Amino acid sequence: MKKTSVVLTFFAAAALIGCGSTSDYTPPADASGEQIFSTACSECHKPLKGDVAMILSEKVANKDALKNKIQNGSMRMPAFKNIQGDAADRLADYLLANSEVK
């Protein structure tokens, strides 16, 4: 039930925004991972509870896969080409520390 509504939220958000797009969001130099997530990601990935940002599948629950996902997006998720370097590391660290892995 919970999982279904998360998936439906993804579909609804993707339908509104379109697919295969690129986001030109650029994080401020001193933004924390949490700030980047709440600005750039939470419109689609609504935090599940205070300390749980996302549910990650096992295959993306590592830093390289997360950065790859963020920078390349997917059919339904925009590519964030401007989240690079330290900002990408901070965002990936934040997600790894604040997500449930399924």
Query: Which residues lie near ligand HEC (CB under 6 A)?
Result: 10, 13-14, 17, 40-41, 43-45, 56-57, 60, 66, 69-70, 74, 76-78, 80, 83, 91, 95
Closest distance of CB 1 from ligand HEC, Å: 18
Closest distance of CB 87 from ligand HEC, Å: 10
Residue closer to ligand HEC, measured from CB, 5 or 74? 74
Closest distance of CB 95 from ligand HEC, Å: 6
Do 36 and 83 meet the contact criterion of CB atoms below 8 Å apart? yes
Residue closer to ligand HEC, measured from CB, 13 or 49? 13
